[in-house]
Structure 1
Amino acid sequence: MAELLNRDERIAIARLHALLELLPTALDKELAPAGLTSFEYTLVEVLAEAPAHRMRLSMLAAKTNATLPRLSRVVSSLERKGLVVRAPCSQDGRATNAVLTPGGIDAFNASRELYAKAARAMILDGLATLPDDGVAQLAELSYAILSTLDPDKRLPVTADGAPSCGADPA
């Protein structure tokens, strides 16, 4: 029989669950004036940093840790907003690229400050109260958990190995 979690472990896990539930909604609220959700912002940010603002849908899904069905739904939403278009991949006729439109670039640029302000207020300012470098601690803790979730380093988020992470911005 597995050993049960002690009180401190239960508190840590409960707080992690709360964070994972509350943070996306709070970020969505702050990005609402820009017309983006936090996940849409993540996709647009990845495309903004990609060469020619384009990326295969499968790579975009991997880079954002999304399933292909979820990614497809979000890309469709961004297409309706005029921020992204789908285009055939010139290297592989079976693949499709997501391409950031000029409107998508504008939306990204307009939302960057909103996102930065929200991330600072909700995450980074709290980390500043920790001893040492709270940002580095969060990066290390997050990577440790991600590495445990993918010990064989098969997922793009852990494939590069420490200290970099496949989800890190360019």
Structure 2
Amino acid sequence: MRAWRTYVNGSSMLMDRLHRELQDGHGVSLADYEILVRLSEQKAHRMRMTQLADDVASSKSRVSHQIARMEKAGLVLRRECPEDGRGVFAELTPVGMALLEESAPTHLDGVRKHIVDLLTSEEQEVLAKVFDRVMTHLRAVDS
């Protein structure tokens, strides 16, 4: 029970802190930052909305609302998929890329300061293995 409770509280506190640092320093939420990162890593800086939702472990509906809000802010665009009339891409704009480049050092510093630097290399490896196993299990259950 101790492991579960410290995980729940610690991960919540960590995400809140990382969100606050991005919000206070750059006016971007942690959730929006994660979308900007995922899009920046793709060819042509765009992804299908369904794949984006899977990548950020969110529902299609929630990501759709988030993308609509980000689109109003000029950070992303929605584009129809030319090969599939039903498919929709989210595409990073130059404004979104600029915000990502500006906010990335803040986020990376926070991740290092609030978790990475607190763990030994061995602890980091154990943490990665544990959550790889959890994600594999949950994906199999959802299939």
Relative to the length of structure 1, the TM-score reads: 0.78
Q: CA deviation at 1:68?
A: 0.8
Letter of the structure 2 residue corresponding to residue 44 of structure 1? L
Who is 1:35 aligned against? 27
Q: 2:127 aligned with 1:135, yes or no?
A: no
Could you list the per-position Cα deviations for residues 16-52 of structure 1 after superposition, in whole angstroms to 9, with x for gaps in the alignment? 1112322221111110122211111111000001110
Question: Equivalent residue of 1:86, what SS?
Answer: strand
Match of 2:15 among 18, 24, 27: 24
Aligned mates of 1:14, 1:48 — CA distance in 2: 35
Match of 2:57 among 59, 65, 76: 65
Q: CA deviation at 1:142?
A: 1.0
CA contact (8 A) 1:127 1:134 kept: yes
Who is 1:86 aligned against? 78
Question: Equivalent residue of 1:93, what SS?
Answer: strand
Could you list the per-position Cα deviations for residues 99-150 of structure 1 after superposition, in whole angstroms to 9, with x for gaps in the alignment? 100001101111110110010111101113xxx5222221111112222323
Report the RMSD for the aligned CA atoms in angstroms. Answer: 1.5
Who is 2:66 aligned against? 74
Paired residues in the alignment total 142
Aligned mates of 1:91, 1:107 — CA distance in 2: 30
Q: CA deviation at 1:152?
A: 5.6
Structure 1 alignment gaps of length 5 or more: 1-9, 155-170
CA contact (8 A) 1:147 1:153 kept: no
Aligned mates of 2:85, 2:29 — CA distance in 1: 31
Aligned mates of 1:148, 1:11 — CA distance in 2: 22
Indicate the percent of aligned positions where both proteins have the same amino acid: 28
